[in-house]
Structure 1
């Protein structure tokens, strides 16, 4: 069974920026501009509160990486929230997590972001299949009941009315520039076309996040 997490609220913030004119030049920063950051408030089964924070450009990258529709904010947001539970096949301890192992087994032959020669629809379906497997076996994110969210707002003295969907601020305010998505897709196409062949696994070549094993001494 997947872990259940509920969404309670979402808000807009911004990444690091310089608050004084000229400060960015003194500090060597490029232009001092801030990028919008979205924060989603989540609560797990143990009533532990966390915030999933991601930059607005994540929408552009996921649309470009997985051939997703830039106007389909609901699907993009669903991918962004659930992809954190996608296990790595390079994790040496994945066999200790039945849910993670089930996800990897179901998605083993699916193409990845950098797999060359994949049709757009195939790449899109592969992404959706991974997220569906995550929801079945590892993580399912759902909205907390509206009455409970409204009660929480009233408890802290807020005059806000809890929307039916706590992710409404993101879904209603997010606009994705198709030109920026097209630029990222062009970059990814270039990487796929020019990347070297993957290294053949050997005794001395280890993927990340695995035990070091025996390696030749550096001279």
Structure 2
């Protein structure tokens, strides 16, 4: 039977950003990078009282769109995927058989294609991954929302001047709008890895390795396959 995991809150933070040197200036230099958004979903397992802080980069949403063809506007499905993925056992874990839930998930999903399986459509990859998530829900965990009154009580107890929203994932759902350019760039990366892993590939504007600008350059011949 799946263990219940309750969501209590969600919060936005950001990664490192080297801005101290630029602080006296009016703006950050063009090459400045960092401050990538990071989400943390606060969870509790009622049966054990265990507290879980599931932190993940905002870019996880972009990557899942690129890898599985998920709709960037379908945030409910994206959240479902990202929140349940940590509960999917690793195929290479030699001790997974000692965990009945993990063993059941592996048995049910072993033959499903991954995002890297060659010759598979986006729709097939997506349905396979959604099936993994569904199996994790049946055998390992079921993520639910903690009662709003309890969440409000916790906020009041710690002195947070906030009102608990009806949905504890509201901070993510209300603020997230995926950038189509970032999704597209990640799809370019995924497409290149898939194509280059199958055979030598001639780079084009729409299919190329990282940091490559094809433009109007002469055609680049692919490397010869080893004889």
TM-score norm. by structure 1 comes to 0.82
RMSD: 1.7
Return the match for 1:195 from 194, 197, 206: 197
Unpaired runs of 5+ residues, structure 2, are: 24-30, 200-227
Structure 2 equivalent of residue 18 of structure 1: 18
- Equivalent residue pairs, number: 191
Structure 2 equivalent of residue 63 of structure 1: 65
CA apart distance, 1:95: 1.0
Q: Secondary structure at the match of 1:127?
A: helix
Tell me, yes or no, if structure 1 residue 31 matches structure 2 residue 39: no
Equivalence map 1:19-168=2 (5 Å): 19-22=19-22, 31-44=32-45, 45-168=47-170
Conserved? CA contact 2:105–2:132, under 8 Å: yes
Q: Deviations over 1:26-52 (max 9, x none)?
A: xxxx62431011111111132222211
TM-score norm. by structure 2 comes to 0.79
Q: Secondary structure at the match of 1:21?
A: helix
Larger RCO (alpha carbons 8 Å, 6+ apart): 1
**1-structure distance, mates of 2:189, 2:162:** 42
**2-structure distance, mates of 1:159, 1:193:** 52
